[in-house]
Amino acid sequence: MLHTSRMGEWFQVIVPNHWQGKTIESLFRDLWEVPKKLTHTYRMEKKVRIDGEAANWGTPLAAGAKLQLRLFEAEETHITPHFQELEILFEDDHVLVLNKPPFINTHPNDPKQETNTLVNGACFHLLSQGEIRDIRQIHRLDRDTSGAILFAKHAMAGAILDRALVERKIKRTYLALVDGILKQKRGTIQAAIGRDRHHPTRRRVSPTGQAATTHYSVVMEDKQEKLSYVKCWLDTGRTHQIRVHFSHIGHPLLGDTLYGGKPVVHRQALHAAKLEFTHPFTEEKIVCHAPFKDEPDIFKNIDLLTI
């Protein structure tokens, strides 16, 4: 874990030994993989300093030097702040992890008309702390799916985490309650997913769709009710992926009537139970477990720490 601190609009990190000899240019390009346009902004607007002085981007860094980045400037916001109760799983100056309840959209489809989404609540949370900035969601969950969602508090954190998501360095583990007892207790579902041309929101397994891979492991079985609690993790992030894949193998999620699930619970039984990622600036491994929020409980007798 790196030694870091915040000084107003500036973020400071003490250059560690394993950065010795690297340049600021290489940190932006190779370590953080910051997009060229954002990198250009930091260079031209002199938003990087070494020991309080404007930095030379090509000079090798010395261990123990104070690298300072202007990360926390006020910016124009494009999301309407809207107060709501939030369950915060992790927060610091750079990132925010929230436990999304079911029956709320992750982000507004129409920013001017729709204000009661998780993004609007996160924006209000920042504003209440005196942070006048847009919040940036790194991934999303379906409206009726609950669990952990990762947000970035500034542009550079957003860029680094967006890249980490693409490179599968952010691990999301889901818990699903599915119909039936699976014969294979651990396995992988590989089936391309495309749009269903007969339904505006439904997806389906299609040879012409996008490649999709879901890994799963049965956590617990209710043999009396013929139900299975299944842990899932993804190599891809297609819309409705877990829902489509388990319906495809004959075990639809309970409550997921769009894909053939029995309406015995009030929503599709899917919860983003755990989120794991490496912090973009401290190099700390962050692991967040998201408590279940349903009343009555859908996922009974499940220990989150085993997920």
Q: So where are the chain's domains?
A: 4-70, 173-271
Residues marked as catalytic: 142
Average pLDDT over every residue of 87-100 = 98
Q: Is the pLDDT of residue 274 over 90?
A: yes
Report long-range pairs for 122-127 (Cβ below 8 Å, ≥24 apart): 122/86, 122/96, 122/98, 122/151, 123/77, 123/79, 123/80, 123/81, 123/82, 124/81, 124/82, 124/83, 124/84, 125/86, 125/96, 126/153, 127/81
pLDDT at position 34:
96
Q: Give percent above pLDDT 90 in the chain.
A: 90
pLDDT at position 122:
97
CATH topology of domain 173-271: Pseudouridine synthase (3.30.2350)
Question: What confidence tier does 305 reach under pLDDT thresholds 50, 70, 90?
Answer: confident
Q: Is 95:161 a contact under the CB 8 Å cutoff?
A: yes
Dist CA 34 CA 43 (whole Å): 12
Query: In this predicted model, what pLDDT tens digit does every residue of 208-229 receive, in sequence order?
Result: 999 999 999 999 999 999 999 9
Angle at 154 between CA 149 and CA 155, to 5 degrees: 105
What pTM was estimated for this model as a whole? 0.94
pLDDT at position 172:
96
Q: Is 213:235 a contact under the CB 8 Å cutoff?
A: yes
Name which of 1, 29, 11, 31 is nearest 19 in CA terms. Answer: 31
Query: In this predicted model, what pLDDT tens digit does every residue of 185-209 receive, in sequence order?
Result: 999 999 999 999 889 899 999 999 9
CATH topology of domain 4-70: 3.10.290
Dist CA 179 CA 307 (whole Å): 20
Query: In this predicted model, what pLDDT tens digit does every residue of 244-261 receive, in sequence order?
Result: 999 999 999 999 999 999
pLDDT at position 125:
97
Within 13 A of 11's CA, how many CA atoms are on the CB side? 19
